[in-house]
Amino acid sequence: MRTLRIANSIAIGIPLLLCLLGFVDEDFFIIGMISSVLTGFLQLLIGILYLFDYPKSIAIKVYFIATASFFLLWRCTSFEWIWILPVLLCIYLSAIIYTTKNG
């Protein structure tokens, strides 16, 4: 669990750091936004690893349902607020990981 927490912190921290550096050089904003795609991929992998550790967790199942819903909505709707879902998924997965006991 400790490894998942560290990996999650790094995955979240890199785009945030790059976007903060964007106040110094605007190119970092673009790099930060692009790296957020990598963060999403890493969080998906972290979620899968968490699922292997805690297969009975309802919270992680809700995470995967919400993730699948995001991709379905992204492809099937013109809902302009859809881009808030990845941020919410990031926060939700982090909350799951950091509030889990035994680790």
Q: Using one digit for the tens of pLDDT, what is the confidence trace for 74-88?
A: 888 777 778 888 889
Structure tokens at 99: 């509030």
Q: pLDDT > 70: what percent of the chain?
A: 98
Structure tokens at 16: 């945030």
Between CA 100 and CA 8 the distance in angstroms is 14
Buried b (16+ CB within 10 A) or exposed e, 42-67: bbeebbeebeeebeeeeebeebeeeb
Q: Residue 36 pLDDT > 80, yes or no?
A: yes
What pLDDT, on a 0 to 100 scale, did the predictor assign at position 103?
52
What pLDDT, on a 0 to 100 scale, did the predictor assign at position 102?
67
Q: Within 1-103, where are the H helices?
A: 2-21, 27-53, 58-76, 84-99
